[in-house]
Amino acid sequence: MLEIRQENINDYEQVYHVIKTAFEKAEHRDGNEQNLVIALRESKSFVPELSLVAVNKNKIVGYILFTKVQIGDSTELALAPLAVLPEYQRRGIGTKLIKEGHKIAKQLNYNYSIVLGSNKYYARLGYVPASKYNIKASFDVEDEYFMAIPLNENATAINGIVEYDKVFGI
């Protein structure tokens, strides 16, 4: 039985391994995703309730992190990273992590989540090009890979360039 829960300090070593392993053969990676998470945990953009693990038989097999970003006058969220151990991929674990993260984010009164990633994967979960919501990246990226999703049906319209935490190096 898969359990999705908030990460705790005792999970850090396993989470590091999950992220490093999941990104080893990823098409788009910088090789530093696991270290980014360490830095984000210490940043002002960290939201502990949105640092989630997927646990299968006492083993962490997946991880997701949403951190605060500034878009114009609005504080919203960026999904990064999402990692699932290769042997557990294509079982819906990533989808469950995203859906649980969205649910918690909505309860915490965030209105949007953005992501830089596969348009084929994230579109299945409702993400569309962020430009549709007047959200722009602070770097050059093709529209189809920089996506957003409103977390609330009555999310107020926003307009602006995404300001990531400085630890992203963007």
Quickly list H helices, 24-161.
Answer: 33-41, 93-107, 119-123
Distance CA(101)–CA(66), nearest Å, equals 7
**CATH assignment at residue 28:** 3.40.630.30
Residue 154: the pLDDT is 85
Torsion angle of alpha carbons 129, 131, 137, 141, nearest 10°? Answer: 50
pLDDT tier, 132 (very low <50, low <70, confident <90, very high otherwise):
very high
Count of alpha carbons within 13 angstroms of residue 73, beta-carbon side: 3
- Residue 51 belongs to what domain range? 2-168
Task: Count up the domains in the chain and report the number.
Answer: 1
Residue 83: the pLDDT is 96
Q: What is the pLDDT of residues 154-169, one digit of tens each?
A: 888 899 999 999 999 8
Distance CA(110)–CA(16), nearest Å, equals 27
Least confident of 25-29, 64-68, 131-135, 146-150: 25-29
Q: What is the pLDDT of residues 79-93, one digit of tens each?
A: 999 999 999 999 999
Q: What is the pLDDT of residues 7-63, one digit of tens each?
A: 999 999 999 999 999 998 766 666 689 999 999 999 999 999 999 999 999 999 999
Task: Extract the tokens encoding 30.
Answer: 């910088």
Average pLDDT value over all residues in the chain? 94
